[in-house]
């Protein structure tokens, strides 16, 4: 199959809608990362998404809507908390898990009776939903296990030959996937951190929001988890990444003592001169919003450079930085050392 990369003209957007109506799949930009979209009510379309990504069958997809009427179509119940969060953060990078409606096919939710829903703020994504009137399911448009794509070129690298159209909407503004929060129980629980934080949600709700323990830790492959996506090794470039915790000086002393070739360093801005190995920075140490924006593109850049072994400076674990930490520990397969 030929894969076309096209700018979002009216014609191209109409083409994307036609692809969705025909039960096919199309890659589209969102404000978080690029998504691979298919009609959330059409089992055949959803199977095509799983096949193109090589995605494990038990990992459910997120459904994207463009207005509140559509919310009532895709869920069977909206709790008070869910409504408050939707009103505060939609359109935007927040996915809320709610009980699913019959409209959503079982394949979309991998057999669960809940569904993750979000209203993207990206204009192109919204137009496609508005014009087609199809709430689409869209996971990140990468091959399963690879870093999420934040440009059309990243999508092309993973999806060339597998889908007919990639809409090029430029670089994604957030750069990491949406915050996923489950509102199925009394206390909302964050299953995946993103640029919308626990603190922001608590301010809106006026009560506590939990963070699932899997956000910070590895998960046993066979264990039962709230969010199946947390079980898998994720966001991995080909290189073997180790996160090294400690002061900049201790970090530099440690990595400079490693004599292997093909070692790369992932550091914060302004630190590059400290290292004997080549290094790439992923943002200022105190600006996690920039780190989220750069993280996945730096991981993909390391692949293009042929990096075999990477040592990374450790991000913070509070606020927006938790989103960076959560992705990086998975990219590193949970290898963290203290120096
Ligand atoms: O920003 C995003 O959310 C992007 C863009 C394209 O919208 N999409 C995305 O989808 O990141 P994906 O499939 O890569 O990640 C979805 C995550 C997975 O970790 C999955 O396990 C979790 O959401 N998830 C989806 N539905 C769920 C459900 N019903 N219960 C628990 N976890 C769910
Ligand atoms: Mg993904």
Beta strands in the chain (DSSP E): 4-6, 26-28, 35-39, 62-64, 94-99, 114-118, 136-137, 165-167, 179-182, 189-192, 210-211, 240-245, 263-267, 279-281, 309-313, 336-338
Check pLDDT > 70 for residue 223: no
Q: At what angle do helices 288-304 and 321-331 cross, to 10 degrees?
A: 20
d(CA 26, CA 12): 11
**Residues within 5 Å of ion ligand 2, judged at the Cβ atom:** 140
User: pLDDT (tens digit, 9 = 90+) per residue, 225-282?
Assistant: 677 766 666 777 889 999 999 999 999 999 999 998 889 999 999 999 999 999 999 9
Total residues belonging to the chain: 339
| Atom 30 (ligand 1) nearest CA | 227
Counting atoms of ligand 1 from 1, which one is nearest the CA of 115? 29
Of 53, 138, 59, the residue nearest 95 (C-alpha): 138
Q: Are 209 and 189 in contact (CB under 8 A)?
A: yes
**How high is the pLDDT of residue 210?**
98
Mean pLDDT of the 40-66 span = 97
d(CA 173, CA 176): 9
**How high is the pLDDT of residue 224?**
66
Q: Are 138 and 95 in contact (CB under 8 A)?
A: no
Beta strands in 100-250 (DSSP E): 114-118, 136-137, 165-167, 179-182, 189-192, 210-211, 240-245
Q: What are phi and psi of 215, to 5 degrees?
A: -60, -35
Q: How far is the CA of 89 from the centre of ligand 2 (A)?
A: 21
Helix (H) or strand (E) holding 300, with range, is helix 288-304
CB-based pocket (< 6 A), ligand 1: 30, 32-33, 35, 59-62, 93, 95, 97, 109, 112, 114-116, 138-140, 177-178, 180, 191-192, 226-229
Ligand index nearest the alpha carbon of residue 60 = 1
User: pLDDT (tens digit, 9 = 90+) per residue, 11-36?
Assistant: 999 999 999 999 999 999 999 999 99
**How high is the pLDDT of residue 226?**
73
Sign of the torsion angle spanned by Cα atoms 114, 54, 128, 227:
positive
Helix (H) or strand (E) holding 314, with range, is none
Tell me the C-alpha to C-alpha distance, in Å, between residue 58 and each of 18, 55, 222. Answer: 28, 8, 12
d(CA 287, CA 142): 26
**How high is the pLDDT of residue 232?**
64
Check pLDDT > 70 for residue 43: yes
d(CA 53, CA 201): 32
User: pLDDT (tens digit, 9 = 90+) per residue, 162-214?
Assistant: 999 999 999 999 999 999 999 999 999 999 999 999 999 999 999 999 999 98
**How high is the pLDDT of residue 222?**
63
Q: What does the mean pLDDT of the chain come to?
A: 95
Of 194, 236, 201, the residue nearest 215 (C-alpha): 194
Q: What are phi and psi of 275, to 5 degrees?
A: -115, 145
């Amino acid at each position: 199959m030929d894969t076309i990369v096209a700018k979002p003209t009216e014609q191209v957007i109409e083409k994307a809608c036609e692809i969705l109506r025909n039960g096919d799949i199309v890659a589209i930009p969102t404000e978080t990362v690029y998504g691979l979209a298919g009609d959330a009510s059409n089992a055949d379309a959803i199977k095509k998404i799983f096949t193109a990504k090589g995605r494990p069958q038990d990992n459910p997809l997120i459904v994207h809507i463009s207005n509140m009427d559509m919310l009532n179509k895709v869920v069977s119940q909206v709790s008070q908390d869910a409504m408050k969060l939707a009103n505060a953060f939609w359109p935007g990078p927040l996915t809320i898990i709610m009980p699913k409606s019959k409209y959503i096919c079982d394949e979309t939710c991998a057999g669960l009776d809940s569904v993750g829903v979000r209203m993207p703020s990206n204009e192109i994504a919204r137009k496609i939903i508005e014009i087609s009137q199809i709430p689409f399911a869209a996971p990140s448009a990468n091959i399963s296990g690879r870093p999420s794509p934040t440009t059309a070129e990243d999508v092309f690298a993973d999806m060339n030959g597998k889908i007919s159209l990639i809409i090029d909407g430029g670089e994604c503004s957030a750069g990491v996937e949406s915050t996923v929060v489950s509102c199925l129980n009394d206390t909302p629980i964050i299953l995946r951190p993103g640029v919308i934080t626990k603190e922001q949600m608590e301010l809106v709700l006026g009560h506590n929001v939990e963070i699932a323990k899997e956000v910070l830790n590895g998960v046993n492959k066979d264990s039962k988890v709230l969010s199946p996506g947390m079980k898998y090794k994720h966001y991995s470039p080909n290189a073997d990444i180790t996160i090294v915790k400690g002061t900049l000086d201790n970090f530099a002393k440690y990595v400079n003592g490693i004599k292997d070739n093909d070692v790369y360093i992932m550091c914060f801005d302004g630190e590059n001169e400290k290292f004997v190995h080549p290094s790439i920075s992923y943002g200022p140490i105190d600006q996690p919003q920039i780190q989220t924006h750069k993280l996945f593109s730096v991981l993909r850049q390391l692949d293009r450079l042929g990096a075999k072994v990477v040592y990374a400076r450790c991000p913070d674990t509070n606020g927006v930085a938790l989103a960076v930490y959560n992705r990086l520990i998975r990219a590193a397969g949970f290898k963290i050392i203290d120096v």
